[in-house]
Amino acid sequence: MVRIVETSVRDGHQSLFATRMNTEEVLKLCSILDNAGYHAIEVWGGATFDACMRFLNEDPWDRLRAVRAFCKKTKLQMLFRGQNILGYRHYSDDVVDMFCKKSIENGIDIIRVFDALNDIRNLSQAVTSTKKYGGECQIALSYTTSPVHTIDYYVSLAKDVEKLGADSLCIKDMAGVLLPEDATKLVSAIKKEISIPLELHSHCTAGVCEMTYMAAIKAGVDIVDTSLSPLSNGTAQPSTQALCNVLKGTEYDPKLDLDVLRRAEPLATEIVNKYVSNGLLNTKSFEINPSILTYQVPGGMLSNMIKQLTDQGAMDKYEEVLKEIPKVRKDLGYPPLVTPMSQMVGTQAVLNILSGERYKMCAKEVKDYLHGLYGKAPAEVDPEVRKKIIGDDEVITCRPADLLEPEFEKLKETYKGIAKSDEDVLSLALFENVAKDFLRKKYNLDKKEADEFEMFI
Ligand code: CO
């Protein structure tokens, strides 16, 4: 039997319409889906946290508590980026600890963590803290292809993940580039070496995902991520209903209640129609994009790059930049193209082409990466490129968070004019400006008053 994690209320709408589903819609869906028999429903993390405050004027913590109240039977799952949590820098261990504690206290059962570089030292605190507060911790390995990202590489990491104490392992194919044959080899090889459950998370962007899921299922994967149709396919996960219909009556039957799924479907249709008509869901998101397999560039990264080039009036350089991406990736030691590495590699490729000289200009984040501040690169960084960007600067080789002092109490002090709970402090620590604007509105704080208070302390 294969178990299913439902993603429509997290990755589904994040991939299809920029995470804009509101809490009311999430609750309506969850209250039905709670009865379907899923392994878990993914409800939180990723961009939901930011989008709630920034675009919907909603408190992400309130959403989580409400979902918990509506979902009495099903485990709730979330996703975050190891030591970065949901932000773009490394946070100290005590902030990671507090985030795990509060997520679990407010209703999360399973915490999925990943690191862009698959440096599992960046995941150890999340595993320790999740378990300390009674949660289940899953480590997700970012899937990509490169000369170093071989089956042996993933098998060896999978063993490390099990040793670290994770409750399960996920192959996270954020770009949707895992092909069926490779899935068969990868899943069989990992299943031979570890005893914790193995999950597969992928996207339909390249049009191959359902075939890959079938291959993985036959090779023994334990759990797959799917999304309730029509909040599925395209840039999102495969359809929950379709997979259930295909597997019904077989040894892999996930045994979800199909009547429950049928009851939820009109609601999902209503939601999709709403976001198509208000323009947030571009139906192009449902199209198959096979070029992803050629360039290995996730959809979100492509749209960012097109925006940067359009802003610079340089769309004529599009093909050149696209060809530069694999070169930058190689120079930087083949990082998987997932946040924040996808932004770094994409921006660097644009700078290399537009400035007319490779690595003449460089973002601060790339410099930090070369200093070792994001962890260990999967392969060796090109020594000449490193020298050109950071000269003979020292490169750290320890776990980056070992260099950080505890900071939660300091953050609490910094935000005491505006935060009314530890949850608020975490919102502010992760998305400072967005959370400030949101919490001022929520608590009817005068902007000036709050600012003066902050200056005073
Ligand atoms: Co995803």
Domain spans of the chain, in order of start = 3-277, 407-456
Quick one: pLDDT at residue 456? 42
CA distances from 122 to 110, 133, 349 (A): 18, 19, 26
What integer pLDDT is reported at residue 457 of this predicted model? 35
How high is the pLDDT of residue 449? 54
DSSP state of 398: S
How many whole angstroms separate alpha carbon 163 and alpha carbon 140? 14
**What are the pLDDT digits (tens) for 285-305?**
898 988 888 877 776 677 778
Q: How far apart are CA 138 and CA 5, in angstroms?
A: 13
Cα–Cα dist 152/158, whole Å: 10
Q: Could you tell me the distance, in angstroms and rounded to a whole number, from the CA of residue 11 to the centre of ligand 1? A: 6
Residues of the chain with pLDDT under 70: 299-300, 447-457
Please tell me the distance between residue 177's alpha carbon and the centre of ligand 1 in angstroms: 12
- 3-277 topology per CATH: TIM Barrel (3.20.20)
User: Three-state SS for 33?
Assistant: helix
CA of 118 to the centre of ligand 1 (A): 16
What is the pLDDT, as a whole number, of residue 454? 46
Distant-in-sequence, close-in-space partners of 408: CB < 8 Å, separation ≥ 6: 92, 94, 95, 98, 425, 429
CA–centroid distance, residue 201 to ligand 1 (Å): 7
Structure tokens at 29: 């869906």
What local confidence, expressed as pLDDT, does residue 305 receive? 83
Output the DSSP codes for 193-256: H--S-EEEE--STTS-HHHHHHHHHHTT--EEEEB-TTS-STTSPPBHHHHHHHHTTSTT----
What pLDDT, on a 0 to 100 scale, did the predictor assign at position 451?
A: 53
Ligand 1 centroid to Cα of residue 244, in Å, is: 20
DSSP letter (8 states) at residue 340: T
CA quadruple 104, 255, 228, 265: dihedral positive or negative? Answer: negative
What is the per-residue pLDDT for 403? 95
Cα 175 to ligand 1 centre (Å): 8
Give the count of beta carbons closer than 10 Å to the beta carbon of residue 272.
21
State in Å: Cα 323 to ligand 1 middle: 25
- Confidence at residue 295, expressed as pLDDT on a 0 to 100 scale: 76
